[in-house]
Structure 1
Amino acid sequence: MKPKHVAQLIAILMLVFCYSYVAAEHQKKTYIVHMDKSLMPLPFSNHLKWYETTMKSVSMANNILYTYDTVIHGFSTRLTVEEVKLLKQQHGILSVHEEKIYELHTTRSPEFVGLERNNMVLPEFSSGGNDVIVGVVDTGIWPGTKSLDDTGLGPIPRRWKGTCETGKGFSKSSCNRKLIGARYFFKRYEASLNGSIEQNGESKSPLDDAGHGTHTATTAVGSPVTNASLFGYARGIARGMAPKARLAVYKACWLTDCFETDILAALEKVITDGVDVLSVSLGGSLAGYDQDSVALVTFVAVSQGIFVAFSAGNEGPTPKNIKNVAPWITTVGAGTVDRDFPAYVTLGNGKTFKGISLFTGNPLPNSFMPLVFAGNVSNNTGSSGCYPGSLPPGSVAGKIVMCEVNAYSGAQKGMVVKAAGGVGMILANPVYSLKEVEVDLHFLPTASVDKKAHDVIKSYIASDHNPKAKITFGGTKLGVQPSPLVPKFSSRGPNPITPKILKPDILAPGVTILAGWTGKRSPTQLKDDPRRVEFNIESGTSMACPHISGLAALVKAAHPKWSPAAIRSAFMTTAYYTHKNGKEILDVATGKPATPFEQGAGYVDPVSALDPGLVYDASTIDYLNFLCALNYSSTTIKIYSGGEFACIKGKKYRVEDLNYPSFAVPLPKASNGSSGQTIVKYTRTLTNVGTPETYRVVVSSKTVAVKIKVEPEVLKFVKKNEKKVYTVTFTATSLPSGSISYGRLVWTGGKYTVSSPIAFSWE
């Protein structure tokens, strides 16, 4: 054969080989390989070498993607079907399975509350409330965020009377067809300063210097943003609950204070500008309604058809600390979603604990490092909180430091540890909680762990002469169960102002929520943090409130004639309070089933709320009758009614008759000489907003101390908007002071289930 023919043959063979190789690569899929760590042969010094050798035995291409050696042990790789068969025969293999493809989400809450699965069949949810206007009273807005994109939105509704105020960092062009209004209210705040707002380093404009306002606003109505994340965590599509709704922002809170004077000025403009939904994630007053100006202004707002949602507060788990309890507003508590950011602590003795973390830098080496308890090296003997100045310079050089949770943020503790030479931190909670739900964006490798881990790690440090640990990270994990839960920070009842009105009303996603952020402040909100982000992860009832506000915009779009009370009722009577497996939602603070004092009616289910069957409606007159029942003065009633209503002398007004979708029943405690029995009656009216049905009542109770009787037991509706009245009689035995229990009153008819929580408390 001539040399040129040999060269041609070699070229052909090379092409065939390359083609075959490429074809084989296309046939490969990604697999997760679990290995039995205990079966690693003795010649191997580490697992990576073992994994590589195992792969070489089945494939020419040693294409290991990732190795795992914390919770699971093994690796991920690309293999053909034939290679998989060979691999399964290798020593130490536990399992080989093809990877699952997950659809990524960021706030996670649209899918978690059920919106995504219904977009194709519910056009009113898909449109997102095109002409509904949501007003947000908060710290302003960051106009540069992609969450305010107005692509696809039509002209601004003609009924809109608001404006786009300008100032430092904020021009007329900052507003668009999405952000249709922006105002700022500063007079009281500026008066509290020694100089001007600008001298305080803040923007005298609607510009958000704090981040809180942008986060809440975009949670409610943010436009979809693809590939959003916080340094890679929670990556996916970020969107608000009502992505097509319009936004109007009212900056009444600043970096250090929210003054009632400024808030009231903002609320006034909310009413006159023409918003449909108002979202306020601020702490409220515990004063009576005659001393609460915010309650008064929101009463006016609701009277004019504006749905008003307030956050419940973050002062749990202590009872009776709930804020914003006026019955005309919707009070929102926080619940978790099924997403987590796992981090793992492995001790030198082999024990591993799962925690959580948002850490974005270079991880620690996958090897053990010296471990120390902060209380053993602190300047202040026994202080374990890692507060600023507590660790001497160089005292923890090259070590992982265990710090205990206290009032200082985790990120701030991390800075303290880093300044003292530490290379990692275990942030341990010394107080029991069902699940660690608080997550921080850290400066150095950190894992936050619960009390169980806290106790074991602390004991290990004390008993081992050379304690060591390592910290590894698991990224973003979806499908975490049980979920939802009630986080311990969410404020609880009983209602300290009006015990016969149950608060909170409902739960919504409020833990590790990703939403828009300001370019003026770091994601940790610490001055020494130079980082800037477009999205941030935050937790609190502040995050839960705008979920309900955005969802209210969707329901408002579908039912424009529904009153604020009807919308709230739809949310409450369709909320769920058990998981799919039938088990009750748990309270993180106790590990026990959550009562209505923690969760209200339950966790919001907006798709069911669109068609609730029946609603508990209420008008301005109903709320005024409620104020009469509280024996407020004629002056107070006049202020609330504008002089157009007065309590009728001699008429019996009862708080028990306010048409609320839930029942709070305070009862007298047991005492010597009493009969030990109390009888109270509550009256309610149901309005048919669905297909006419015949409804039957079912009641349940967790206590034998209260008997519940409903009259009538059957309600037959034959037309839309028809109303039916029923009475509930509670016959209760006295129990010791502080006792609580709960039950349910449920009307069922056709496809509808109309559920109301009942909360008992013995004062």
Structure 2
Amino acid sequence: MTKFHFLLVSVLLVLCHVSMAMAETKETNQRKTYIVHMAKSDMPASFEHHSHWYDSSLRSVSDSAEMLYIYNNVIHGFSTSLTAEEAQSLEGQPGVLSVLPEVKYELHTTRTPAFLGLDKANQLLIESTAGASDVIVGVLDTGVWPESKSFDDTGFGPVPSSWNGTCEEGTNFTASNCNRKLIGARYFAKGYETTLGPIDVTRESKSPRDDDGHGTHTATTAAGSVVEGASLFGYAQGTARGMAPRARVAIYKVCWLGGCFSTDILMAMDKAIDDNVNVLSMSLGGGMSDYYKDSVAIGAFAAMEKGILVSCSAGNAGPSPYSLSNLAPWITTVGAGTIDRDFPAYVTLGNGQNYSGVSLFRGNALPGSLLPIIYAGNASNATNGNLCMMDTLIPEKVAGKIVLCDRGVSARVQKGAVVKAAGGVGMVLTNTAANGEELVADAHLLPATTVGQKSGEAIRKYLFSDPNPTATVVFEGTKVGIEPSPVVAAFSSRGPNSITPEILKPDIIAPGVNILAGWSGEVGPTGLSIDGRRVTFNIISGTSMSCPHVSGLAALLKAAHPEWSPAAIRSALMTTAYTSYKNGQSIRDVATGKPSTPLDHGSGHVDPVSALYPGLVYDLTVNDYLGFLCALKYTGAQISGLARRKFTCDPSKKYSVGDLNYPSFAVNFQSSGPTVVKYSRTLTNVGSAGTYKVSIKTETQAVKISVEPETLSFSQVNEKKGCTVTFTAVGSLPSDSNSFGRLEWSDGKHIVGSPIAFSWKIMENKQQHRERKPENEEKGKYEGLPVNDSPYIQYKDLEDYKQQGYGTQGHLQPKPGRAGGSTDAPTLSGGSVNSQAEVPAADAISRIGIP
């Protein structure tokens, strides 16, 4: 037995030694990526070009290795894949300074490039690099802060020869403020001044300069240059860059302290078309009106004809249905979702309970010991004192305490200013039912955090049950890897489409919550007049932030596929979007805690890497859109107003709204309508030859779906094939409900997906759609104002607008605490913006900014 044990141990030792030797051999032979730094001045004279020398040096140690990149600016050298032995050998070659193994860095920044897959070695950035600097992104907004590092033009070549624009001068802005990155800037104020009087240049610059921050934020999100060390007070620390960092930027300032007016917007779009921009990014929106009355839709139609993709915000009136803006089918309508980054700040109560919130506060933290906490409603004699409105808190009851405030009506950050002015030392801001569990971070002026509705109710219950309640707030900085993500933001506006229910909107969602991007040096991160802090980057939320993400991604696709039309680019983004997480579960809606639907997320969350090679696209021409207008029974005059030409619908032709070659389907069954609905579609091959088979998924048994033909074969690029999709209502129809499905074409390599939305509750009188108000606006009234969940002060009409603090010329005469900041309103969406107002009169259009 002893000999057996000895033999067994010997065998095990031998096997262990062999295993270790094999592991060492495997480790030695395993290839890794290395960056090779070369002394370019040491290049032997026998080489005509440094790339030849690099290749020769590499061949001296490996016959199979290839250079991945050749660097000429950041370093002199190249990157390649080598074994450890080969790397060591190369380091001994003449002229080689060092051979360094590649290091994986985690980005702690706008983070959306990594979240969208743009920081992997993906083909989209590679394919778009060559033409990206010739692509011009035009941004209609509040202007630009040209000193931002995000407009650094280092490494940019000459301005594209296609550019026809200019750099207009004005107050605090000269032509020298433009460069090879920021190639143009204009401003438009005649419409504004006609309605509200001359701009007060002591309060804002009558020039392209951004005194607000919103425009700089959206422009740098779309196409900002790479900036290392970006953050807001240390939050989201990392390298910031726009979606298309090599694209050029052209700025069109159309929004002022009093709002954005359609006359100015139309002129800006007119000039942008003249200037030859390739993409127009517009984080603004108005009411719901027919397309021939909608200034943005009219301007966008002309832009589409010139091959310009127009990307617009969906609005921040969610989660109410029928709350979308920018519904025209030639506009790409973008909703908002979250990313996997958060800024946790926890509330610890005296009973030992902890509740998670979010905050961007940076300053002196609260003492380590627990402090008294009081509910604002118990520290005020005012109606709705729980909202922490200006001059509503009783200082004697608030001094030295943390105050629990309810969200709504006034700006979130302004509530903190009210608490601070009354002597409070901290704030816990709690969501109400209108906001649910959605958490939006703010750069508060005092130690403060925002918690969800459920946590707020629990904290309030504790305050009411404990005679001496105490609490503190602990700030945890930046966290990434948050799951699930994305989720649809509660504020993101929702369908159905109130103008043409047969067109599913929004088209897509993109990152729009807690987004880091460039900021104006003229205003603090909250936008409040009392906020003296100045930052170069800010973190804000809204569909104003998601829109420029798609604008920048469209610029990348335009660079990679310059021959693609705006409709083809949008189709690629829509049909490759994803609607579920890696575990197979559907993207969630933070407003309900349940799976989101196409009425919330459209085609899904943008996936730019997949969009590069979509396989097939649903393309559209100007004539297709004209046929769509005929189907709407627009008159010749109405169509001419959009198309800028005489056009007569063919009386012998049968037009159908549902036949517009859109990448999604919205089918509306009505009690008095047909039970069979047929939509025609045409698909264009933009990939290799292949055969695509169709598959259908649906959650309802009330509708039978068939596609004819079920197979489409393509032999060449740009080949087109048509199909008919038939929707047949089976049996009794569900009442007052929606249901959803999905149609996919696949050749085994590509999946060309389209959402389907069935509705049995669309109101038959379309005028009712247009006049319908978001539900939360109806139930959120307070002294004549809707629940303010945006960065803009709300006004009922122009007279009310003036009475709330504007003089006879409409200039803001600031009252204490009147600034806008990161606020809370269902009819607008966008970012932290100072003292902005929605002005329904004179066809004013408000920027889409956030709750």
TM-score, normalised to structure 2, is: 0.76
Return 5+ residue gaps in structure 2 as ranges.
Answer: 1-102, 763-851
Q: Does 1:108 align with 2:111?
A: yes
In 2, the alpha carbon distance for the partners of 1:546 and 1:364 equals: 37
Q: Contact (CA 8 Å) 1:290, 1:636: kept in 2 or not?
A: yes
Relative to structure 1, the CA distance from residue 128 to residue 148 in structure 2 (aligned partners, 3 Å threshold; closer, same or farther) is farther
1:436: how far off?
2.8
For residue 431 of structure 1, what is the aligned residue in structure 2? 433
Q: Does 1:758 align with 2:756?
A: yes
Q: Contact (CA 8 Å) 1:119, 1:125: kept in 2 or not?
A: no
For residue 246 of structure 1, what is the aligned residue in structure 2? 248
In 2, the alpha carbon distance for the partners of 1:534 and 1:362 equals: 21
Of 684, 688, 692, the match for 2:685: 688
SS of 1:697's equivalent in the other structure is strand
Q: Contact (CA 8 Å) 1:153, 1:178: kept in 2 or not?
A: yes
For residue 461 of structure 2, what is the aligned residue in structure 1? 459
SS of 1:549's equivalent in the other structure is helix
Relative to structure 1, the CA distance from residue 170 to residue 287 in structure 2 (aligned partners, 3 Å threshold; closer, same or farther) is same
Q: Does 1:335 align with 2:332?
A: no
Q: Contact (CA 8 Å) 2:523, 2:534: kept in 1 or not?
A: yes
Counterpart amino acid of 1:757?
P
1:643: how far off?
2.6
Q: Does 1:146 align with 2:149?
A: yes
Deviation by residue 1:382-441 (Cα, 9 ceiling, x = unmatched)? 621111111122321111111111121221111111111111111111327664331111
In 2, the alpha carbon distance for the partners of 1:609 and 1:128 equals: 17
Q: Does 1:721 align with 2:718?
A: yes
1:454: how far off?
1.1
Number of equivalenced pairs? 658
Q: Contact (CA 8 Å) 1:493, 1:598: kept in 2 or not?
A: yes
In 2, the alpha carbon distance for the partners of 1:739 and 1:273 equals: 47
SS of 2:687's equivalent in the other structure is coil
1:102: how far off?
6.4
Return 5+ residue gaps in structure 1 as ranges.
Answer: 1-99
Q: Does 1:205 align with 2:203?
A: no
Counterpart amino acid of 1:616?
Y
For residue 78 of structure 1, what is the aligned residue in structure 2? none
In 2, the alpha carbon distance for the partners of 1:429 and 1:285 equals: 26
RMSD: 1.7
In 1, the alpha carbon distance for the partners of 2:403 and 2:383 equals: 16
For residue 745 of structure 1, what is the aligned residue in structure 2? 743
Of 297, 308, 311, the match for 1:309: 311
Moved more, 486-495 or 633-642: 633-642
Q: Contact (CA 8 Å) 1:433, 1:590: kept in 2 or not?
A: no
Q: Does 1:698 align with 2:692?
A: no
SS of 2:299's equivalent in the other structure is helix
Relative to structure 1, the CA distance from residue 380 to residue 285 in structure 2 (aligned partners, 3 Å threshold; closer, same or farther) is closer
SS of 2:552's equivalent in the other structure is helix
Deviation by residue 1:65-84 (Cα, 9 ceiling, x = unmatched)? xxxxxxxxxxxxxxxxxxxx
The residue correspondences of 1:166-245 to structure 2 (distance < 5 A) are: 166-199=169-202, 201-245=203-247
SS of 2:269's equivalent in the other structure is helix
1:290: how far off?
2.1
Counterpart amino acid of 2:675?
T
SS of 2:221's equivalent in the other structure is helix
SS of 1:359's equivalent in the other structure is coil
Relative to structure 1, the CA distance from residue 549 to residue 188 in structure 2 (aligned partners, 3 Å threshold; closer, same or farther) is same
1:101: how far off?
9.0
Counterpart amino acid of 1:747?
W
For residue 500 of structure 2, what is the aligned residue in structure 1? 498
Q: Contact (CA 8 Å) 1:355, 1:436: kept in 2 or not?
A: no
1:534: how far off?
0.6
Relative to structure 1, the CA distance from residue 586 to residue 196 in structure 2 (aligned partners, 3 Å threshold; closer, same or farther) is closer
Structure with more contact order per residue of length (Cα contacts < 8 Å, sep ≥ 6)? 2
Q: Contact (CA 8 Å) 1:306, 1:564: kept in 2 or not?
A: yes
In 1, the alpha carbon distance for the partners of 2:286 and 2:747 equals: 38
Counterpart amino acid of 1:113?
L
1:121: how far off?
7.8
In 2, the alpha carbon distance for the partners of 1:641 and 1:381 equals: 52
SS of 2:531's equivalent in the other structure is coil
Relative to structure 1, the CA distance from residue 433 to residue 592 in structure 2 (aligned partners, 3 Å threshold; closer, same or farther) is farther
Q: Does 1:627 align with 2:629?
A: yes
Relative to structure 1, the CA distance from residue 521 to residue 665 in structure 2 (aligned partners, 3 Å threshold; closer, same or farther) is same
1:193: how far off?
3.0
Relative to structure 1, the CA distance from residue 194 to residue 261 in structure 2 (aligned partners, 3 Å threshold; closer, same or farther) is closer
Of 450, 469, 472, the match for 1:470: 472
Q: Contact (CA 8 Å) 2:437, 2:453: kept in 1 or not?
A: no
For residue 294 of structure 1, what is the aligned residue in structure 2? 296
In 2, the alpha carbon distance for the partners of 1:317 and 1:654 equals: 30
TM-score, normalised to structure 1, is: 0.84
Counterpart amino acid of 1:182?
A
Moved more, 697-706 or 216-225: 697-706
The residue correspondences of 1:92-171 to structure 2 (distance < 5 A) are: 103-119=106-122, 122-126=125-129, 129-171=132-174
The sequence identity of aligned pairs, in percent, is: 61
Of 700, 707, 711, the match for 1:710: 707
SS of 1:554's equivalent in the other structure is helix
SS of 2:298's equivalent in the other structure is helix
For residue 560 of structure 2, what is the aligned residue in structure 1? 558
1:289: how far off?
1.5
SS of 1:436's equivalent in the other structure is coil
For residue 76 of structure 2, what is the aligned residue in structure 1? none
1:194: how far off?
4.3
1:367: how far off?
1.6
Deviation by residue 1:343-384 (Cα, 9 ceiling, x = unmatched)? 111111111111111111111122211111111111216621
1:554: how far off?
0.4
| Ranges of 4+ aligned residues in structure 1 off by more than 6 Å | none
Q: Does 1:679 align with 2:644?
A: no
SS of 2:255's equivalent in the other structure is coil
Counterpart amino acid of 2:156?
L
